Amino acid sequence: MKKITVPYGKEHVSAFVPEEVKVQYIDYKGTDIGLDEEKMLFDAMDKPIGSPKLEDLVSLDDKVLIVVNDHTRPGPNKLIVQEILKRLRNKGLDKGQIKFVIATGSHRGSSRTELIDILGEDVVDDFEIIMHDCKDDKNLVYLGESIYNVPIYVNKALTECTFCISTGLIAPHHSAGFSGGRKSIVPGLAGFETLKIHHSLPIRPYEPAMGFIYGNPFHEVAVEVAKKVNVKFIVNAVQNPHKQNIAFVTGDLIEAHRKGVDICKGVSEVSIEEKADIVITSPGGYPRDTNLYQAQKALSVAELIGKPGCVFILVAECKDGIGEGVFKDWLVESDSPEEVIERFKREGYDVGSNKAFMYARAMCKGRIIVVSRCLNGEELNEMMLGWAQDLQDALDMAFRIKEPNIISVLPNAVNIIPKIIKGDDKCEK
């Protein structure tokens, strides 16, 4: 028997398949061991791309805002924040001139424990931290319309500062092409009315957009808004699919991000031999699989490599349950995935409706079985999803649905860009 192992929360789960079944692991093949993260970051801060060094760019009378992603996004946030603060202090700025804002997008706010995990206890205790809420109108400002007629509402902290530093992680993304850079601003610090239009833009509606930036309206709007709010410096990490930090890019919003994207492509693009009958996919464990809403990103990659009529096995702990907004309701209220897709075409984005659409899109190609000890099978069945408590049970179910010639395994799906021919451009009936 062949053993299959994939991340689940902060652990791993395993299962066995017969020897005669071909198993195709789709993952980063390199090993980056012994990298000195502190030195890489220090060197990147000393040699920014398209920009003077941070300490040469900021002035003594600036009001600095540091944008940091929330608890659902991995990355070496503490390391980045400490290096930024060290350079700002060396410049002569005091802590009263520095604020943090947590880029939650439409997610819930981060708890104190989560903030400590993101920033460190000393930062949480010593600095003002603003928790973005996309529906808190009193803390939003309107900046007009962007291209594609997207109304621009952003957290007012962006307009009250004189110097904005955006931090984050550059990784493949199913809508933005790649995360990082401008994405911490939109959707990270955008108001709900902005998110509603922005997330409804026609971005490859039946094909995920990993690696797709140029000509991508999601990306173009985010760049426009980030420029408008004067993001003057970015600090982004680049990870390989094994969550190892392999590079840092700093400096100009556009140029530094572009360099990071090039590095990310080099470690994220993986060739595959053929499409699969069963696809086992994981977002890479914690924190990407904290709920079913976030775990969807692993399905976006799986969609690209599954044959029509395949079975998707989504391995995700989901310790926080289903997730935000109307996601569950849309799936429960529909009789078929096609109905969900048609509703999204009519009504567009609401918090969670985009995720319902994306699950439905995958369901049009194949059956979905969710592996989670934290979710309820009856609840998932109501959402048109299968359920298993462990990976072996899910595989046994999948074998009863589809006798496989090949199984593909994506242990770190959200960080992978499959090198394949364009997939199906419509929903399979």
Do 225 and 296 share a domain, yes or no? Answer: no
The per-residue pLDDT of the chain, averaged, comes to: 91
pLDDT tens for 387-408 read 999 999 999 999 999 999 999 9
Give the per-residue pLDDT at 33: 67
238/316 same-domain check:
no
* Statement to judge: residues 368 and 230 lie in one domain: no
| Residue 422 pLDDT exceeds 80 | no
Please tell me whether residues 226 and 148 are part of one structural domain: yes
Q: Is residue 278 part of a domain?
A: yes
Provide, rounded to the nearest whole percent, the portion of the chain with pLDDT above 70: 95
Between 424 and 6, residue with greater pLDDT: 6
Instruction: Give how many domains the chain has, as a whole number.
Output: 2
- Token pair, residue 65, equals 């805002």
What is the pLDDT confidence band of residue 35, given thresholds at 50, 70 and 90? confident
pLDDT tier for residue 197 given thresholds of 50, 70 and 90: confident
- Taking residue 360's Cβ as centre, other Cβ atoms within 10 Å add up to 23
* Same domain (yes/no): 58, 194: yes
Contact present, 274 and 60 (Cβ < 8 Å): no
Residues 183 and 286 in one domain: no
Where does a domain end: 235, 268, 301? 268
Burial of residue 205, with CB atoms counted within 10 A of its CB: 0-12 exposed, 13-18 middle, 19 or more buried: middle
In terms of domains, do 276 and 263 share one?
no
| Backbone torsion region of residue 168, taken as left when φ is above 0, otherwise alpha when ψ lies between -120 and 50, otherwise beta | left
Indicate whether 424 belongs to any domain. Answer: no
pLDDT in tens, 243-295: 789 999 999 999 999 999 999 998 888 888 889 999 999 999 998 899 999 99
Q: Is the peptide bond before 187 cis (omega within 30 degrees of 0)?
A: yes
Q: Are the CB atoms for 262 and 321 separated by under 8 Å?
A: no
Domain end point (choices 268, 300, 315):
268
Give the residue numbers spanning the domain of 322.
2-26+272-419
pTM above 0.85, yes or no: no
- Examine the domain organization and report whether 368 and 296 are in the same domain: yes
Question: pLDDT tens digits for 168-181?
Answer: 999 888 788 899 99
324/407 same-domain check: yes
pLDDT of residue 426: 39
Final residue in a domain of this structure, among 218, 241, 268? 268
